Amino acid sequence: MTYTTQMDAARKGIVTPQMEIVARKENMRIEVLMERMAKGTVIIPANKKHTNLDPEAVGEGISTKINVNLGISKDCCDIEPELVKVQMALDMKAEAIMDLSCYGKTQEFRKRLIAMSPAMIGTVPIYDAVGFYDKNLQDITVDEFFDVVKKHVEDGVDFLTIHCGLNKHTAEKVKLGGRLTNIVSRGGSLLFTWMEINKAENPFYEHFDRLLDICEEYDVTLSLGDGCRPGCLNDATDACQVEELITLGELTKRAWERNVQVMIEGPGHMAMNEIAGNMMMEKRLCHGAPFYVLGPLVTDVAPGYDHITAAIGGAIAAMNGADFLCYVTPAEHLRLPTLEDMKEGIIATRIAAHAADVAKGHPGARDWDDNMSKARAALDWNGMFDLAMDPVKPREYRESSKPEHEDSCSMCGKMCAVRNMNRVLAGKDIQLDD
């Protein structure tokens, strides 16, 4: 029996190699995995042409995944430094990388990225279209937009972010005003501009079936972008965001009818008290499709520290149903991130994802924390470093401030609670004075 996509295979009862790998990773029965994939609540982005992919799943009952954004631009168009960032993202166990390249040798970079990456790869084709055709945005034709999409999937991209839900009706809501930051999505703003100048409908909404033809042929997951995501706390959960989400839910059902896997992209900036409600709303309006969020950033006043504001929001979001977190670095809103910015962003996002998995009771998540606690109780410093999410930084801290006694740290010395409890429970004397 043949199949077109991972969803099609699940609905036909066919176990694919990708499903077998994911089931082992997630400690999930293959029957449960397939049932959820058939419904659309779990996806395995896996382009047929991405031959070195180490597949991962996203969705219901699956561990929270993280994504790293990178790519070349007009101000930073050198491919080699970005490939160094790719390797760092892979070394730091990011499950996905999004290539947001918008200028220069974008196809060369994309092909090299896919060739070296076992992580799933996503792109936003409309970014590439402007640079690829070297013409004004308004002059790009519908066919040209779709030709760029086709190039991306032929190169092996596993998921495409396309802002299909920002149609003319929702665009009118944006023009009515009331937002402090209007449209902050780069892809959303480009499509809004194209629609306004050409007095035309969003080509990806109007010709959605044409997009599905491409996704079905290559088994590419459609990441339905949130062109109206809030760019500040004031704009969260407003009519523009909600109306677009309703449209994305309608498009999700159309994609599922074609066996095309879907995930939904979400906010953005949002106060903490609104996050849980937004997660529930997305799952209801989009029929349980996996939810992919940027942050959410829980305050607008921390430039330079937005990896922290995003990690707070990401942990709350994932605990309440978000399935996939896009990393945010300290450079967010300010510049292209450096390697150090990337590291800070990846660690912050991994902390958020893991904390949410613990809260949700994901199988095996708490074991990691319990093993760290055992190492701490035994004052097993090397064991603690080996278990650390980032083994390098704690080792550097330890080496930078050597204690008098190896079984303590330089903060407490002989007054270390763990050291003294271990000694007294073992029947040994405790000498606190020098």
Predicted confidence (pLDDT) per residue in 182-237, tens digit: 999 999 999 999 999 999 999 999 999 999 999 999 999 999 999 999 999 999 99
Q: Which has more confidence, 247 or 74? A: 247
User: Percentage of the chain surpassing pLDDT 70?
Assistant: 100
For 298-322, the pLDDT digits (tens) are 999 999 999 999 999 999 999 999 9
Tell me: is residue 156 an annotated ligand-binding position: no
pTM, two decimals, is 0.95
Q: Identify the residue with better confidence: 409 or 351.
A: 351
31 marked among binding-site residues: no
Would you place residue 433 in the very low, low, confident or very high pLDDT band (cuts 50, 70, 90)? low
Pinpoint the alpha helices (H) of 76-141: 79-91, 106-116, 125-133
185 known member of a binding site: yes
**Closest-CA residue to 220 (of 265, 182, 255, 270):** 255
Residue 393 lies in a domain: no
**412: annotated binding-site residue?**
yes
228 marked ligand binding residue: yes
In this structure, the dihedral spanned by the alpha carbons of residues 80, 85, 90 and 95, taken in order and rounded to 10 degrees, is -120
The mean pLDDT of 418-431, rounded to a whole number, is 84
pLDDT of residue 409: 79
Structural element, H or E, at residue 235: none
Residue with tokens 């918008």: 102
Local structure of 284: helix, strand or coil: helix
* CB contact at 8 A, 109 and 82: yes
CA angle 96, 193, 282 (to 5 degrees): 45
> For residue 148, is it within any domain?
yes
Cα-only R_g, the chain: 23
* Residue 80 tokens, joined: 């080699």
CA pair distance 216, 249, nearest whole angstrom: 19
pLDDT of residue 40: 98
Mean pLDDT of 14-26: 98
Q: Is residue 402 part of a domain?
A: no
Establish whether 409 is an annotated binding residue: yes
Beta bridge partners of 326: 67, 294
Is 350 one of the annotated binding-site residues?
Answer: no
To the question of whether residue 187 is assigned a binding role by annotation, the answer is yes
292 is annotated as contributing to ligand binding: yes
Whether 416 is in a domain gets the answer no
User: Using the 8-state DSSP alphabet, how is residue 220 labeled?
Assistant: P
Domain hosting residue 245, numbered range = 46-360
**H runs (alpha helix) in 219-326:** 239-257, 272-285, 306-319
pLDDT value at position 412? Answer: 81
Separation of alpha carbons 153 and 222, rounded Å: 11
Least confident among 334-338, 365-369, 401-405: 401-405
In a domain, 54, yes or no: yes
CA dist., res. 165 & res. 44, Å (int): 23
Is 69 labeled as ligand-binding?
Answer: yes
178 known ligand binder: no
pLDDT, average across residues 153-181: 95
For residue 127, say whether it is annotated as part of any ligand binding site: yes
Mean pLDDT, rounded, of the chain? 95
300 within some domain: yes
268 is in an annotated binding site: no
**What pLDDT is attached to residue 177?**
81
pLDDT in tens, 255-276: 999 999 999 999 999 999 999 9
The answer to whether residue 39 is domain-embedded is: no
Residue 210 is assigned to a ligand binding site = no
The reply to whether 373 sits in an annotated binding site is no
pLDDT of 126-162, one tens digit each?
Answer: 999 988 888 899 999 999 999 999 999 999 999 999 9
> Does 250 count as an annotated binding residue?
no
Write the CATH number for 107. 3.20.20.540
- Per the structure, how many domains does the chain have? 1
Domain-located, residue 142: yes
